[in-house]
Structures are given as structure tokens and as C-alpha cells.
């Protein structure tokens, strides 16, 4: 799928105009989300169980294939196209949107650093939805500080023996294929980190505790435990010591998708706030007539649209590999997730007591929005990335 064209700024309008193909995808996913995903959203959250039916829905409609090139059985979607799909799914169900987002995240290190044999072995099953992927960087003692990771990989003959633990792994235990990061040189800091393709049935691989979370309850988050785990040497991604670079390049390319998820959540919350304001009657008329409510909704709409434009711009910039891509990617994720948190809180306020009740979706959206400020790098880390780019 081709990228969105840059609009002529002299004529005003949006910075990025979607192609006809992207507009068609947007409408298709919006309808699919409304008809198939939204009716399941509350139940997924309440049960806390992984929604296999939603995975199958995305697979059967070739949405997972968007993350991969056509020559590897994918649909060849660019990052903006993927962001559009994630946004529309998140508008009604964050859990379902995360299935697509983690497909991108878990496979991105392989797409970036794999050789031809690795690509042909691992990517087509992911593109066809026969298998799932996950990304394993975070550890109990190494979150934002990747250099502090304690997972070790020692080469012995034609294998690496890995020992250690990962935590907060989205899709842990669900995924078949993992992009795992471990230190091969303890003395080299981040330059001693290497990346590996790990299969869940490798000897020594174990899924640990399943986390119980405030939001995204239908997405399985777990510990991963490696005890003398045997990984074939041929599963090293790139060269030894390139793992941190691969991880950071991955996050540059996936943070816009979290921004898109945040925009979707915020848009869904705004939708509900507008609908409620038109229907709720107080003081002899709908509360939409009250200036206080009008100002809240106007502010919410401005914030959502600003976040959307920044996310779309960042996705296009990442595709072009511009010099500012890393900083703008961080801006998009940071700004959009802050907007999602503010807009969902304000939407709850518009609904008043009803917004606080579980039978309305706003409290779920507010809980789900919070994680977008935390995963794939906290927003404090995003501000560090942005500041370093600006200050040198």
C-alpha cells in the first residue's frame, strides 16, 4: 500500500492527505470495528481473557498481513496504513488494537536485522496469522535503563545459552516467536547487548507469572524465564553487540503505532462524550447547549486532531527515514498518549456519575489510556529523547 501524499501547505488543509486506498481501508476497518469488535469490548475487559476470536478476525481480514511485505506473504502496508488500522480498532477496543500493534512490535527486529534465511523462516507464518510474535527487552531491574539488563547469552559451539528473566511482556505465552535481547559482553554496556529470535519451544524457555492489570486486561502480559535456554547460533539477529541499536530502531518505528492507539482511544471517548451531551437533558435542555460543556468538547476535539496529525506525520517521516524521525516518533507517542489520558478523563467528567459506571465504556477507556503513557518507553523517556535531539 502506498504512502499518503504530502499536501500543499500553501493551500492549507491537512499535512498528510490519505490515499484513496488508505481511505478505503480506514472505512473498512471502522465498519469491522463497529460491527464485530465493539460488541465484544466490554466482555474482553471484564473476563481478562485473551480474545482469540478478535485475533482470528484480524487474521481473516488480512490486517495482520499489513505489517509485512508482499514477498513474505504480507499485504505491504506502510507504517501510516498500519497506524490507521490501529486507530480505528482502538476507537472501540484497545485490546483488539493491541493485537495488531504487538504484531508490528514483535516482528520489527526481525524485519530490521534478519538475513534472508531468517526472514523466509519466521515472517511468512506471522504474516499469514499462523503464529504470533512478541518483543522481550524489559526486565525487573532494567526498564528504561536497558544497560542494566541481567539476562546473559554465552556462546557454546553452535548455540547460545541464555539465562535471565524478562517482565511485562505483551503477548507473553501467546506468541510463538520472540525477539529477545541479552548481554553477550557484560563489560560493554549497551554495546554488549545482542538480539535473538527465540521460539517458545526452545529448551529452557518458560512463561512465568501472568500479570493482572488496570487496563488492557484482554492482552496477556507475563514474565519470561530463561534457564540454560538453548538458542541456535543462527538465530542471532545481526551481529553480536547490535542488539541495543536494533531495539532502539524498532521503537522508533513502533512508537507512532502507540500514538495511533492513543488517538483511537481519545477519539472513541470524544464520540461518547458528544453523543451523551446531545442526549442528556438538564436545566430544560441538552447539556450540549451549556457553554461549559461546549468548551470542554471543543478542547478535546482540538487535542485529538493535533495528536492525529502528529502521529500521521511521524509515521510518514519514519517511512522516509528522515534525520528527525526518532525525535518526532517520540513526540507523537508522548503527545498522543498524554492527550488520550486527558481526553478520557474529561469525557468521564462530561458523563458525570454515569461516566464512572462500568456499564458505560468511558471508565474502561480511561484505564486503557494510561498504559499508552508507559509502554514502549515512558513519556519521561520520550521527553529525554526529544530534548537530546534538540540540544545535541
Helix (H) or strand (E) holding 221: strand 221-232
**Residue in the block written with cell 524489559:** 138
142: which DSSP letter?
B
Query: Whole-angstrom Cα distance, residue 225 to residue 207?
Result: 6
CB 153 within 8 A of CB 231: yes
3-class DSSP state for residue 191? helix
Decide if 151 contacts 164 (C-beta within 8 A).
Answer: yes
**Which grid coordinates are listed for 347?**
469525557
Q: DSSP string of 224-284?
A: EEEEEEEEEGGGEESSTT-HHHHHHHHHHHHHHHHHHHHHHHHHHHHHHHHHHHHH-EETT
In which region does residue 173 sit, left (phi positive, over 0), alpha (psi from -120 to 50) or beta (all else)?
left
Residues with a catalytic annotation lie at: 376
Helices 362-371/243-279 angle, 10° precision: 160
Considering only CA atoms, give the Rg of the chain.
21
According to DSSP H, which parts of the chain are helical? 20-32, 38-47, 52-60, 79-90, 94-113, 116-127, 243-279, 291-320, 325-351, 362-371, 379-391
- As a whole number of angstroms, the distance between CA 24 and CA 27 comes to 5
Residue 165 has phi, psi (to 5 degrees) of: -150, 140
CB burial readout 182-208, b (16+ within 10 A) else e: bbbeeeeebebbbbbbbebebeebebe
DSSP 127-141: HTTSS-EEEE--BTT
Amino acid at each position: 500500500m502506498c504512502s499518503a501524499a504530502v499536501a500543499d501547505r500553501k493551500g492549507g488543509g491537512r499535512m498528510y492527505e490519505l490515499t484513496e486506498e488508505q481511505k478505503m481501508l480506514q472505512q473498512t476497518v471502522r465498519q469491522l470495528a463497529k460491527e464485530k469488535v465493539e460488541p465484544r469490548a466490554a466482555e474482553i475487559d471484564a473476563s481478562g481473557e485473551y480474545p482469540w476470536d478478535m485475533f482470528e478476525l484480524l487474521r481473516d481480514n488480512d490486517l495482520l498481513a499489513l505489517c509485512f511485505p508482499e514477498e513474505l506473504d504480507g499485504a505491504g502496508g506502510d507504517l501510516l496504513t498500519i497506524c490507521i488500522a490501529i486507530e480505528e480498532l482502538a476507537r472501540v477496543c484497545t485490546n483488539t488494537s493491541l493485537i495488531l500493534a504487538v504484531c508490528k512490535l514483535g516482528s520489527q527486529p526481525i524485519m530490521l536485522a534478519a538475513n534472508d534465511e531468517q526472514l523466509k523462516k519466521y515472517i511468512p507464518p506471522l504474516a499469514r496469522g499462523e503464529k504470533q510474535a512478541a518483543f522481550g527487552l524489559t526486565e525487573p531491574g532494567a526498564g528504561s535503563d536497558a544497560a542494566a539488563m541481567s539476562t546473559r547469552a554465552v556462546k557454546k559451539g553452535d548455540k547460545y545459552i541464555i539465562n535471565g528473566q524478562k517482565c511485562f511482556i505483551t503477548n507473553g505465552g501467546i506468541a510463538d516467536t520472540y525477539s529477545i535481547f541479552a548481554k553477550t559482553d557484560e563489560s560493554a554496556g549497551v554495546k554488549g547487548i545482542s538480539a535473538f529470535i527465540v521460539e517458545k519451544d526452545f529448551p529452557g524457555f518458560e512463561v512465568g507469572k501472568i500479570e493482572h492489570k488496570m487496563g488492557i486486561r484482554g492482552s496477556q502480559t507475563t514474565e519470561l524465564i530463561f534457564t540454560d535456554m538453548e538458542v541456535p547460533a543462527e538465530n542471532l539477529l545481526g551481529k553480536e553487540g547490535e542488539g541495543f541499536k536494533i531495539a532502539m530502531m524498532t521503537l522508533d518505528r513502533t512508537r507512532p503505532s502507540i500514538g495511533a492507539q492513543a488517538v483511537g482511544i481519545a477519539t472513541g471517548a470524544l464520540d461518547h462524550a458528544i453523543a451523551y451531551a446531545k442526549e442528556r437533558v438538564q436545566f430544560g435542555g441538552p447539556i450540549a447547549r451549556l457553554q461549559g460543556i461546549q468548551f470542554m468538547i471543543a478542547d478535546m476535539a482540538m487535542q485529538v486532531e493535533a495528536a492525529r496529525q502528529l502521529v500521521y506525520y511521524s509515521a510518514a517521516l519514519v517511512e522516509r527515514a528522515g534525520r528527525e524521525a526518532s525525535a518526532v516518533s517520540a513526540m507523537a507517542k508522548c503527545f498522543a498518549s498524554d492527550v488520550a489520558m486527558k481526553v478520557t478523563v474529561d469525557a468521564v467528567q462530561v458523563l458525570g456519575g454515569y461516566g464512572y459506571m462500568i456499564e458505560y465504556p468511558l471508565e474502561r477507556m480511561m484505564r486503557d489510556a494510561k498504559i499508552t503513557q508507559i509502554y514502549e518507553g515512558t513519556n519521561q523517556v520520550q521527553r529525554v529523547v526529544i530534548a537530546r535531539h534538540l540540544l545535541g
